[in-house]
Structure 1
Amino acid sequence: MITLLRLSVLIALCIVSLATEFRHFEKAHKDPQVKRYEPTWDSLDTRPLPKWYDEAKFGIFIHWGVFSVPSYVDEWFWNYWKGPNPNAKVVKYMKDNYPPDFTYGDFASQFKAELYDPDYWADLIQESGAKYVVLTTKHHEGFTNWGSKHSWNWNAVDVGPHKDLVGMLANSIRNRTDVHFGVYHSLFEWFNPLYLKDDTNNFTTREFVVDKTMPELYELVNNYKPDVIWSDGANGPDSYWQAPEFIAWLYNDSPVKDTIVVNDRWSLTTSCKHGDFWNCADRYHPSSVQNHKWENCMTIDKYSWGFRREAVIADYLTMHEILQTMISTVAYGGNLLMNMGPCHDGTIMGIFQERLKQTGAWMKVNGQAIYGTAPWDKAQNDTVNPSVWYTTKDGSVYALFVEWPADNVLVLGAPTPSSSASKVTMLGVQQSLTFGPGKPTGIRVTLPSLNTKQMPCEWAWTLKLDGFQ
């Protein structure tokens, strides 16, 4: 009788739960206040951008996969070796260092990630000042960094690490930081037979999309609940990928429908046209304010997204270059997504760690001129001083400059004081600064005389202008 009673209670609870879920579902579909997006770009493009993404301004990109084992030339290593247009340098490297019967698949067993510490990764990302991270879950090689049911024996649980690399980082990010977790996913795969078959059929068949790509995307969202889906590798027409159907589900019914943002790389025809934010090309950096949210995805290594062992110090961006890129990107309304490439064993090279830590130290002083700001409508790059860019927030204007003038006088052509109460301060310095009129317009600001220990930061500085127009 006790068992039957318990069973009856469980059944009753299940019925109540199902009824509640149905009421929520019914309300979402009938409530005129809850907008439903249709699987068309015209409808999807009306969705407002979630506020967190525009305010974040800065994220970290991570390229990691089987390509991290050869770690030579860049992440397109397999395609350079066996693709339709071989790279002679890569072909020679394989011939000189591996037996004739060695395959790219053999690299997977060496991708062990034995020193992978997702807690350290999460702490480093938090320290960098980034507000979101985008982890490569699958590159064009097709290897999934989680145990995907749709990538049998070509995933990080079945082969190599025998770990859920995606889930481990997602958990560490959420448990240790306030950073938003995002995923990179390549729609196509260079050598997948299903994709090659659809390509041969001029994309009139969709076996690869139905059986591989879209199931993976639904799996990623349901398993890891990312706030960013960074799609890539969208060879093939819009009609082939059926992305609008997936994105409509994301916006309407997915577990991340209120926070998710997607980029524009969903087919050959969507780039710079559709998506919550646009990264029209790698290192996209327009020199004017755009009419749509955009992102500059760039690399610390000037020549590669994945780690490469042959890189020399001159191949990495300096902090001066990184901050100039960040400041100018944010001034024009963009976000900066800065990439690093870990080693195959899960370690992060010192140069990447240093750049992230240095960026974070700079953000601690100057972050208020970056996070949550908007482009200044009067000027984004100064009218007479090309080393100065502007942002604005809460009525203040921020002038960020990357060259300290030799005479300690910074000339600004754009700002005009609006009253006798107008004030200029430097972030990280206590006292107000003196300023006077510029010629023919603007102002001349006398910067403080500081020794190296008194400088608020090393590479770029920020003036806060209150009472200026």
Structure 2
Amino acid sequence: MGLLLLLSLLSACFQPRYAPTWDSLDQRPLPSWYDEAKFGIFMHWGVFSVPSFGSEWFWWDWKGAHDQNFIKDFMKRNYPPGFRYADFAPMFTAEWYNPLQWAEVLQASGAKYVVLTSKHHEGFTNWPSKYSWNWNSVDNGPHRDLVGELAMAIRNNSDLHFGLYYSLFEWFHPLYLKDKQNKWTTQDYTKDVGLAELYELVNAYHPEVVWSDGDWEAPYTYWNSTNFLAWLYNDSPVKDTVVTNDRWGSGMLCHHGGYYTCSDRYNPGVLQKHKWENCMTIDKKSWGFRREATLADYLDMDDLVKILAETVSCGGNLLMNIGPTHDGRIVPIFEERLRSMGKWLQVNGDAIYATKPWRAQNDTRESGVWYTSKNDSVYAIVLDWPNSGQLTLGVPRSSPTTTVTMLGWAAPLKWVAVSGSGITVQMPTASSNQLPCQWAWVIRMKGVM
């Protein structure tokens, strides 16, 4: 027992400590679970889910922007004169919110982590923050700790890592507006709200993803970002497992932080030097739920599998967003997409989870083919079934030990080498309902160069 204690103390002594500088913080290795996960679910939920019109930027479009008359017209048609945004909060009821059911749907999606909005730019906190009196989900609206309930359900009923989105700024907070007017020479909002809430969140809920946003107006020195990250990496309860993004101040995108997001829906299509994430949303026009959305506004499974393949092949993670309703439901179209992704990953997960980029990301001869690799296997994710039944790949070079199979298909596939470079694969002769999946198919090759 004494020896174990001594070894533990010695290990703690030799753990690196990170200084509150970007030079130091950027040296921290990304915890391995994140790169292996590849696929996560984003959830935008807040008071904006009540009007559920336009987007989650409803309040800003109504009161902050000067050219969004469609929001003003919506309010005139549907709400009485004098109605304030704060009047939406009691309507954020979440009476159908069942964290256990959410956890089951998220687990079924095949995702390995989830990131829930703890606070968006409107400032309403989905936990009982003592720094947001009467503008939080326990004092107002649902009268429930929405963050805490989902954190418990995820940890007790799934294998997902739990993460939280947090907006550093609030559109209309008087302390923030005062600091902005003072050109960031004062930090009253950061000290009394922004940082205080961040420390509160991490200590209370132990998120393994801290997904920062709302940083772009002010420099990182205003947000005290490097001091917070040094604490997060050195002394917080999640110091060994937490990952962070790159949204910690103006000019930080794609330059500093844990993994890079670079922009919303970032999908470069080429291999990146730094670990990155493609955060995107199934509803092409909004991150929050919209009542006016039409079927054409939602990405279909062909779209989603394509984006997943492109992202993972180029070394990224996909964070796919849905927007729950004000009453706490994941609507059927979102649930269908999540469960369908899970079914595809049940068959083809070997080509996604814990993979590494191969020497080529996509094929030179056949469009719509993206590559990943793991150990001695190379995976070709084929987005479109070849009309001829033969798939000719221009990148792989065969060897005497080459074997070719399809994930979810029992029999090996016949193939021949192509003169110069490449192979031609004979795809299975089968009806669509006999194939292992509907949307994209994965060819696994061993013994190729």
- TM-score norm. by structure 1 comes to 0.93
Q: What amino acid does structure 2 have at the position aligned with 1:454?
A: Q
Equivalent residue for 2:437?
457
Report the alpha carbon displacement of residue 133 of structure 1 after superposing the two structures with TM.
0.1
Which of the numbers 261, 269, 275 marks the counterpart of 1:287?
269
Which of the numbers 47, 52, 56 marks the counterpart of 1:71?
52
Equivalent residues of 1:413, 1:443 under 8 A apart: yes
Q: What amino acid does structure 1 have at the position aligned with 2:294?
A: V
Aligned-pair Cα RMSD in Å: 1.4
Distance in 1 (CA, whole Å) between partners of 2:11 and 2:253 is: 31
Q: What amino acid does structure 2 have at the position aligned with 1:364?
A: Q
1:319-353 deviation digits (Å, cap 9, x = unpaired): 00000000010000000000000000001111000
Alignment: residue pair count: 444
Equivalent residue for 1:8?
none
Equivalent residue for 1:339?
321
1:265-291 deviation digits (Å, cap 9, x = unpaired): 010121101111010100001121111
1:203-252 deviation digits (Å, cap 9, x = unpaired): 00000000000010000000000000000010201211111000000100
Q: What amino acid does structure 2 have at the position aligned with 1:350?
A: P
Distance in 2 (CA, whole Å) between partners of 1:185 and 1:27 is: 35
Which of the numbers 310, 315, 324 marks the counterpart of 1:328?
310
SS of equivalent residue, structure 1 residue 90: helix
Q: Find the structure with the greater CA-based Rg.
A: 1
Moved more, 40-49 or 284-293: 284-293
Structure 1 stretches of 4+ moved >4 Å: 23-29
Which of the numbers 395, 400, 414 marks the counterpart of 2:376?
395
Distance in 2 (CA, whole Å) between partners of 1:96 and 1:208 is: 36
1:354-406 deviation digits (Å, cap 9, x = unpaired): 000000000000000000001001x1010111210000001110000110011
Moved more, 406-415 or 437-446: 437-446
Equivalent residues of 1:115, 1:346 under 8 A apart: yes
Q: What amino acid does structure 2 have at the position aligned with 1:462?
A: V
Distance in 2 (CA, whole Å) between partners of 1:357 and 1:50 is: 27
Which of the numbers 135, 147, 155 marks the counterpart of 2:116?
135
Which of the numbers 261, 266, 282 marks the counterpart of 1:300?
282
Which of the numbers 125, 129, 136 marks the counterpart of 2:106?
125
Distance in 2 (CA, whole Å) between partners of 1:248 and 1:86 is: 41
Distance in 1 (CA, whole Å) between partners of 2:57 and 2:292 is: 15
Which of the numbers 332, 340, 344 marks the counterpart of 1:362?
344
Distance in 2 (CA, whole Å) between partners of 1:28 and 1:91 is: 60
* Change beyond 3 A, Cα 1:264–1:46: same
Output aligned runs, 1:208-287, within 5 Å.
Answer: 208-234=189-215, 235-287=217-269
Distance in 1 (CA, whole Å) between partners of 2:444 and 2:264 is: 32
Distance in 1 (CA, whole Å) between partners of 2:447 and 2:344 is: 25
1:170-221 deviation digits (Å, cap 9, x = unpaired): 0000000010000000000000000000000000000000000001000000
Distance in 2 (CA, whole Å) between partners of 1:283 and 1:388 is: 21
* Change beyond 3 A, Cα 1:24–1:231: farther
Distance in 1 (CA, whole Å) between partners of 2:433 and 2:441 is: 15
Equivalent residues of 1:272, 1:278 under 8 A apart: yes
Report the alpha carbon displacement of residue 28 of structure 1 after superposing the two structures with TM.
7.8
Equivalent residue for 2:423?
443
Equivalent residues of 1:79, 1:86 under 8 A apart: no
Output aligned runs, 1:156-171, within 5 Å.
Answer: 156-171=137-152
- TM-score norm. by structure 2 comes to 0.97
The answer as to 2:55 corresponding to 1:83 is: no
Identity among equivalent positions (%) equals 57
Q: What amino acid does structure 1 have at the position aligned with 2:273?
A: N
The answer as to 2:438 corresponding to 1:467 is: no
Equivalent residue for 2:298?
316
Which of the numbers 164, 178, 182 marks the counterpart of 1:183?
164
Report the alpha carbon displacement of residue 41 of structure 1 after superposing the two structures with TM.
0.6
